[in-house]
Structure 1
Amino acid sequence: MKKNSTKKQTPAVQPVQEKHEIRPGQSLELLKELHILTRDGKLNQDSRRKLKQVYHLYQFIEPLLLKLQESHANISLVDHGAGKSYLGFILYDLFFKSGQAQSQAHIYGIETRDELVQKSTELAQRLNFPGMSFLNLSVADSTHSDKLPEQIDIVTALHACDTATDDAIQFALKKKAKFMVLVPCCQAEVAAELRKSKGDAVRSNPLSEMWRHPIHTREFGSQITNVLRCLQLEAHGYQVRVTELVGWEHSMKNELIVAEYKGTPAKRPGDRLAEILNTTGLDNLRERFFVPQ
């Protein structure tokens, strides 16, 4: 005899409520303008990945902003190689917007492509983000520009190619930045110098095997560039943390350097940096990786 069984009804799978990925109070208009949301307010796979990347980086920067806020509200942040200013707009929207009436906090986006500078300027005006401005300058030129304050609290440079990251570090050192957040990219200069130095300068150094083959030269050059940058920052009195920027799956350039100024330049990192430059035949780069005298 066939038993009557009540089949458990599986509830229909409801579409994921995509809005849960958007933070409360966030500007939907901004997210649409940045193409993180579609025009009808939806998230597609590509835009969800972009949002995840920005939020992931925000979780590293927010504690730095909160620490700065303990001493003063008028925080200044410069974003080098800003591009479409995804980072600057998200930071302003999530952190600065709510207190903009009482604060003189300001985010400066530095970008060489004039059309992106113009678009970002227009968007900031449309969104009523008065604490944002955008300058058509190279990273190097911004160091001497009178359009920026004498002192800056935090400097960011995400995927600033090759020596632009070093220019951002030089900018931050000159502006006495409390914090730096760097995601370096395309370190070609050091690799080019390593190719030149495969002769007498490193012939007696067995470690030169690490960059004898072209592919190793490229990878070793990238690695040692960031090592030199960290030593330089430590020599100038910064505490350095290096981690992987998890969540940037689309990019092989996944190294995040966060530096906080502690006020005491250190001699040993400078000595180490000099030794590395000497033993790898990179003495020509002493001016770029300068340390306090």
Structure 2
Amino acid sequence: MKNQRTNPPRQGAASTANELPPEIRPGQSLELLKELHILTRDGKLNQDSRRKLKQVYHLYQFIEKLLLELSEAGSAVGGLTLADHGAGKSYLGFILYDLFFKQRSTGHIYGIETRPELVEKSTALAKQLGFARMSFLNLTVAQSAQSGQLPERMDVVTALHACDTATDDAIAFGLQKRARFMVLVPCCQAEVARVLNQHKVLSLQRTPLSELWRHPLHTRELGSQITNVLRCLYLEACGYQVTVTELVGWEHSMKNELILARYTGQKKRSAAQRLRALLEEFGLKELLHTRFTHLPDNAAEAHLPMSDHAHGAGHVDKSAP
């Protein structure tokens, strides 16, 4: 035991330990992690960075499987395309590029972000690291759907903690771009809670279920739950197979719900019917023509003047695709 204490550690072992904390995936660029301030300049991880990296890595594992599946199927002519909405500092996009796209000669990642200073920093970092097939666009999610800077088709759409209705906009983007996969981690859903609040008095008179959102805290929590349920039904109605799971343990993040959607083309009529029924039950019918315009039996109605929506909300257009 005495000799073990006095013998100094091997130089190589000490150097490796300093350069590569055990949480870091093999092949990961340490320069990138330092530029993203996940690693300190001396290669250390603090607790906040460790938690953040754990979330991104866990999400990467899900997305990597989808990208490999698309690559093996050879379905992406000209290379895989991925749109990362609400990119922020683009932790996810950079790590995806570093661990997956960098080893391939084709494929492109598009980071969509509304804050111009973050877009500028990400653009500069991509250039510094030689990540040539990364583009960062100063657009809202809704604007990006109409932008000529993105391709007409998108293989994978991601939205990690895109706040409130930005997740709904990402879903609308994915539907328009005919995305093969969508990977969504919703955050801070408030729209449904606002609508529930607006009609609370009428709801209390109409149904005992309104006790579920009588108190403001319950309104917020129930609104968040209903929002994600409606999103899943919407995706199923539009031809996606949906899986809902946890991203990481609740001790790492309270915004922890992961929605994985795979396009199959099998549009579930029952999902559309249940979605409409829930909107009716919770007094949320006004969302039908703002959030769920791609429903197969809603396409014709979506173009009606707003004054006609109330009269047409229950009508099913048999001629709609």
TM-score under structure 2 length normalisation:
0.84
Q: Which residue of 2 aligns with 1:17?
A: 17
Aligned to 2:292: 289
1:83 aligned onto 2:88:
yes
State how far apart, in whole Å, the 2-side matches of 1:241 and 1:164 are.
20
The percentage of counterpart residues that share the same residue type is 68
Query: Which stretch shifts more, 116-125 or 35-44?
Result: 35-44
Moved more, 44-53 or 137-146: 44-53
State how far apart, in whole Å, the 1-side matches of 2:87 and 2:81 are. 15
Matched, 1:228 2:233: no
C-alpha distance 53-9 of structure 1, shift in aligned 2 (>3 A):
farther
Displacement of 1:53 in angstroms is 1.7
Q: Shift of residue 22 of structure 1?
A: 2.0
State whether structure 2 residue 102 is matched by structure 1 residue 97: yes
Alignment of 1:1-293 (within 5 A): 17=17, 19=20, 20-72=22-74, 74-99=79-104, 102-103=105-106, 105-201=107-203, 203-247=205-249, 249-287=251-289, 288-290=291-293, 291-293=295-297
Contact kept? 1:34, 1:86, Cα under 8 Å: yes
Q: Contact 2:158/2:184 (CA < 8 Å) preserved in 1?
A: yes
Residue segments in structure 1 that go unaligned for 5+ positions in a row: 1-7
Q: Report the alpha carbon displacement of residue 274 of structure 1 after superposing the two structures with TM.
A: 0.3
How far apart are 1:248 and its partner, in Å? 6.4
Deviation at 1:23, TM superposition (A): 2.2
Answer with 75-84 or 242-251: which moved more.
242-251
Q: Go from structure 1 to structure 2 and tell me whether the alpha carbon gap of 1:289 and 1:79 turns closer, same or farther (over 3 Å shift).
A: same
Count of residue pairs the alignment pairs up: 283
1 CA distance for matches of 2:284 and 2:195?
Answer: 6
Residue pair 1:52, 1:247 contacting (<8 A) in 2 also: no
Deviation at 1:63, TM superposition (A): 0.7
Stretch moving more, 67-76 or 208-217 = 67-76
| 8 Å contact from structure 1 (residues 80, 158) kept in 2 | yes
Could you tell me how far apart the structure 2 residues matched to 1:9 and 1:223 are? 60
RMSD (Å) for aligned C-alpha atoms: 2.0
**Any conservation in 2 of the 1:240–1:260 contact (CA below 8 Å)?**
yes
Aligned counterparts of 1:123 and 1:194: Cα–Cα separation in 2: 43
Q: Tell me the SS of whatever aligns to 2:178.
A: coil
Instruction: State the secondary structure of the residue aligned to 1:50.
Output: helix
Q: Deviations over 1:87-125 (max 9, x none)?
A: 0000000111111xx32x000000011111011011111
1:243/1:257 contact within 8 Å kept: yes
Note if contact 1:188-1:218 (Cα within 8 Å) is conserved in structure 2. yes
Distance 1:212 1:75 in 2: 47
CA displacement at 1:289 relative to structure 2: 2.5
CA distance in structure 2 between the partners assigned to 1:44 and 1:227 by the alignment: 36
Instruction: Return the structure number with greater relative CO, CA threshold 8 A, min gap 6.
Output: 1
Query: What's the TM-score once normalised by structure 1's chain length?
Result: 0.91
Matched-pair contact (CA < 8 Å) for 1:53–1:247: no
After TM superposition, the runs of 4+ consecutive aligned structure 1 residues lying more than 4 A away are 8-12
Unaligned runs of 5+ in 2: 298-321
* C-alpha distance in structure 2 between counterparts of 1:153 and 1:106, whole Å: 10
Partner Cα distance (1:199, 1:38) in 2 = 53
